[in-house]
Amino acid sequence: MDMTQNLLTRRRLLRHSAALALVPGVLAAPRLARAQGDNPAAFPERPPRLIVPVAPGGSQDVVARLVARGMGEALGQTIQVENMPGGGSNIGYEAAARSRPDGYTLLAGSDSLSINAALFPRLSYDPLRAFEPILPGVAVPQILVVRAESPLRDLGGFLAAARADGLAVGTPGNGSLSHLLGELVQQAGGVRWTHVPYRGGALAVNDLMAGHLQAVWINIGAVADAVKAGRLRGLAVSSEARAGALPEVPTLDEAGLRGLAATGWHGLVAPAGLDPQVAAKLTAAGQAALRRPDVAQRLAGLGVEVLEEPPAALARRIQADAERWALVVRQGNLRPD
């Protein structure tokens, strides 16, 4: 090939590369690069969006919207909430992981980040490295409940019944924190029951009330009112200390199963590589939102408790939970739906 042909070939390759660079996702700019014109000191210059990886209406969605509204007022920009449910939250998580780390895309994260790292070995994103923590948010205790007329009056009686007769125990879903916590209790207590996963906690509670289940593991906010009204009985909560929403219900430690405390969380993370100045602004705005009296009152009604922790504590929690649930998943040979 002579020199002229070499030059023509090189020019064609350059033109081809330039054309490819215009196609989204091909020859993309480095992940840490900020959008042209973005100025961390002036952030936010336009409305950010908050991806919520679950359907509207649940406690994670409610918490996300409460925090988003308060943060928007603190930042001077309305935060646009976008629900992306499905795939065990992986659809929303992946969309957030692929977003530019400029502060204009946030993610309503939860304990499912750690669980998914253990439960889904072939994800297109790394749940433990794709995000950086912004706001620890709130702790979400789990609770074991039975019908008020049930003969099961405490955790000891529940475990004895599971050993003797077998029980049908519902959870909000396969791979949920309630499911893994129940598996952890079975492994520690040397019992087995029939796990009945639902697509949402409300469906599980409805079947419990109808007598189709003997018990349900669920987040405390979903059943706190029913327990207070005497329609359900709480046997144990998963938090280290008794939950403020239902202080009469003992912890797992108090009920005889020590070292099993496992509390979920609802908070905010962002794509990894976020400018520290932008991250600090978002964290400050999130903390301001949680301190609002109207937000605090609504959160108390959900049975969740504000986590007075820095973002670094959330990073440690995510990593520690991932290691813990990976062991439970392996020992229980658990698989996603």
Q: From the first residue on, what is the mean pLDDT of each consecutive set of 10 residues in the chain (337 residues)?
A: 42 40 33 55 95 92 96 97 94 97 97 94 92 96 97 96 93 94 94 93 94 96 93 96 94 94 96 97 97 92 91 96 94 83
- Shared domain for 274 and 131, answered yes or no, is yes
In the three-class reduction of DSSP (H, G, I as helix; E, B as strand; rest coil), residue 2 is classed as coil
What CA–CA distance (Å, rounded) separates 43 from 326? Answer: 38
Same domain for 194 and 232: yes
- Can you read off the two tokens belonging to residue 243? 């939950």
The burial of 37, by beta-carbon neighbours within 10 Å (0-12 exposed, 13-18 middle, 19 or more buried), is given as exposed
Residue 63 counted as domain residue? yes
pLDDT of residue 29: 34
**Does 289 lie in the same domain as 151?**
no
Q: What is the CATH number of the domain that holds 201?
A: 3.40.190.10
Residue 337, pLDDT score: 66
Question: Could you tell me if 132 and 269 lie in one domain?
Answer: yes
Q: What is the CATH number of the domain that holds 117?
A: 3.40.190.150
Separation of CA 78 from chain center: 23
On whether residue 247 sits in a domain, the answer given is: no
Which pLDDT belongs to residue 1? Answer: 44
Domain range enclosing 165:
142-237
Among residues 82, 80, 175, 171, which one has the least CA distance to residue 127? 175
* 184 and 102 in a common domain: no
Q: Do 231 and 147 share a structural domain?
A: yes
Whether 65 and 146 map to the same domain: the answer is no
Spatial CB neighbours of 310, under 8 Å, sequence gap ≥ 6: 136, 283
Residue 305's SS3 state is strand
Q: Which of 222, 237, 252 is the last residue of a domain?
A: 237
13 domain residue, yes or no: no
Q: Quickly tell me which residue has 């996702």 as its tokens.
A: 25
> Residue 27 falls within a domain, yes or no?
no
Give me the number of domains the chain comprises. 2
If asked whether residues 81 and 146 sit together in one domain, one would say no
Classify residue 36: in a domain, yes or no.
Answer: no
Domain membership flag for residue 248: no
237, 253, 286: which is the final residue of a domain? 237
Least Cα distance to 213 among 248, 254, 177, 178 occurs for 178
Q: Are residues 90 and 173 in the same domain?
A: no
Domain co-membership, 101 together with 152 = no
- The verdict on residue 11 lying in a domain is no
- Are 147 and 219 within one domain? yes
Is residue 109 within 8 A of residue 273, CB to CB? The reply is no
Buried b (16+ CB within 10 A) or exposed e, 204-215: bbebbeeeebbb
Last residue of a domain, one of 217, 237, 257: 237
Position 301 scores a pLDDT of 85
DSSP letters spanning 162-230: HHHT--EEEESSTTSHHHHHHHHHHHHHT---EEEE-SSHHHHHHHHHTTS-SEEEEEGGGTHHHHHTT
Buried-exposed string 38-51: b where 16+ CB fall within 10 A, e elsewhere: bebeebbeeebbbb
- The whole-angstrom separation of Cα 64 and Cα 79 is 11
Nearest-angstrom CA–CA distance, 216 and 196 = 9
Omega within 30 of 0 (cis) for the link into 44: yes
Q: 99 and 159: one domain?
A: no
Residue 186, in any domain of the structure: yes
Q: pLDDT tens digits, residue range 4-41?
A: 444 334 444 444 443 333 333 322 333 444 444 578 88
